[in-house]
Chain A
């Protein structure tokens, strides 16, 4: 079985400051990893994904994440946040062999303070 833990439910950060949103997963099999973002009143939008290869993955809007297999983590980072980054962020995993059912974390609400 797979599970995802997002340790921080709310993260306030000042504009132009760096941010890291933490994600740890548990799985007995090989997985693919994802970060999705949900802006207010919108659907889930894919930020970035790790399938294989380089452990540092770059996504849209200046976000990046690093896959750490030994620590079973996939933390999301951005060096300088903007007001428009205020949203809820979800980490998700899926089995790399079937890639169908997604397992999500509980989400992290990022609030960027002017």
Chain B
């Protein structure tokens, strides 16, 4: 059974810092991995999608990498801003299914 874990569970950093969020999954047979942002009580905003054949994806200040063999993905946020404060979720689709299994989330707070 696929399990997705995110470390750390919460993170507080001063504005301007570069930071890394970690996502690990137990079954490396995945089709893709997607990173989302969620503001309190709000919906899911898709940030980056990495297909299983890809190693990384970039969008603006965000860079996500995928190492399928080790069951890990990292989301790198450059020059963090207070507006980046939110919960970040990773989710994977495991081979043979079409549904997302979500991680436990990292609650990020960027201090001005």
State whether these chains interact: no
